[in-house]
Amino acid sequence: MIVGILGGGQLSLMLAEAAKPLGISIVFIDPAPDACANRVARQILANYDDPAALEQLADLADVITYEFENVPSESVRILSRRLEVYPPSNALATSQDRLLEKNMFVELGIPVPAFKAIDSLDELREAVTKIGLPCVLKTRRFGYDGKGQAVIRSMDDVNAAWQSIGEAPAILEAFMPFEREISIIAVRDPEGNHRTYPLSENIHNNGILAQSYSRNDDPFFDQSCQYVSRLMDTLEYVGVLALELFQVGETLYANEFAPRVHNSGHWTIEGTSCSQFENHMRAVAGLPLGETEITGRSVMLNCIGAMPKVSGMQGLSGVTVHDYGKSPRDNRKVGHITLNAEDDDAVEELLAIVQRNIS
Ligand code: AMP
């Protein structure tokens, strides 16, 4: 079986690595000659909207998936005429537009921060008075890792916030005083079977994920599980989906979902017997889903900007360094380090050693 992927970044690389033992090979489209997945998979070097490249991908592959949600919807439409594209196009379209996404959460009875659609500066001023301060302005489309966002703390910030997001169609939402940011990663196959990984608790720096902690037996697991199942069933979803939530007191509020494997689930490679990458491949290829239970505790540390020197950690049991082979650049995710141990204390001990050795 051959799976075609739109995108050849680190997620594609890890999907391809997980696909190999399943007897699945990967062909992907990416316009970057140094795309990380080209170490392990065949690349079609082209833009995502190149009609000839899309036809070539459809000729070679048995099924299509993607590794990022800003895939051109027209490309998905073209590919869908020839073969299945998973996750389905309605999931992609919803996740590409924060307003559609928020409306879907509301329809499904999943709490969200108070929000309003914004199309002009006047609407923004009025919405700020209704929602209250502080609040967050986010472009409806093409935002990621905190890009296309501005926090408004006083009425004096409104003009600058509107300009900073390029006066693009947006939503304004209440700033949540969250205790925790968590994500739940789940997978659904074409028959509607689901599996769910234990929760990840996530720490962000400047809007970019910095650390994820696996949280077994989390008191919010059942609630998160219900929300993600509702979402996947409604979308008739196939593949891995990540739902990001804010915990405020006893309530979970949905922030957004990603129709793909997710950075907060990278610890599943070493932490579970079937990683999010393998389960995504299994789902799109129509293979039985794998186990999602964790045996111990895991922590994932993102390497942002450049890979740290890891010499002091090499050979430490329970430490795995993933270097995506990307050139250094500010705010770029270039790798991650996963720590695994039998319990919280042991993983914290490992974390202290690794943090001392990172330079
Ligand atoms: P997003 O691109 O929506 O995932 O936002 C990136 C990060 O900004 C989130 O992970 C939060 O840390 C923060 N953030 C986004 N929306 C809000 C909000 N409504 N209230 C507080 N923090 C937020």
Mutation pick for ligand 1 pocket among 245, 247, 255, 256 (CB with most ligand atoms within 8 Å)? 255
Homologous superfamily of the 114-174 domain (CATH): ATP-grasp fold, A domain (3.30.1490.20)
CA of 299 to the centre of ligand 1 (A): 21
For the chain, domain boundaries: 2-85, 114-174, 180-358
Tell me the whole-structure pTM to 2 decimals.
0.97
Quickly state the pLDDT bin for 8 (edges 50, 70, 90).
very high
pLDDT of residue 142: 84
CA of 54 to the centre of ligand 1 (A): 34
CA of 175 to the centre of ligand 1 (A): 8
CA of 204 to the centre of ligand 1 (A): 9
The tens digit of pLDDT for each residue in 31-69 reads 999 999 999 999 999 999 999 999 999 999 999 999 999
Task: Output the CA angle 221-226-229, nearest 5 degrees.
Answer: 115
Residue 242 CA to residue 188 CA, distance in Å, equals 12
**For the domain bounded by 180-358, which CATH number is listed?**
3.30.470.20
- Residue 256, ligand 1, Cβ within 6 A: yes
CA of 213 to the centre of ligand 1 (A): 18
pLDDT of residue 145: 66
- Residue 207, ligand 1, Cβ within 6 A: yes
Q: Catalogue the E-assigned strands of the chain.
A: 2-6, 25-30, 42-45, 63-66, 115-118, 135-139, 149-152, 170-174, 180-188, 194-196, 199-205, 208-215, 239-248, 251-258, 297-304, 319-323, 333-341
**For the domain bounded by 2-85, which CATH number is listed?**
3.40.50.20
What does the block give as tokens for 89?
A: 């196009």
Average pLDDT over residues 243-261: 98
Residue 263 CA to residue 265 CA, distance in Å, equals 5
**In CATH terms, are 2-85 and 180-358 the same topology?**
no
- Residue 299, ligand 1, Cβ within 6 A: no
Quickly state the pLDDT bin for 359 (edges 50, 70, 90).
low
Looking at every residue in the chain, the average pLDDT score rounds to 96
The tens digit of pLDDT for each residue in 278-304 reads 999 999 999 999 999 998 999 999 999
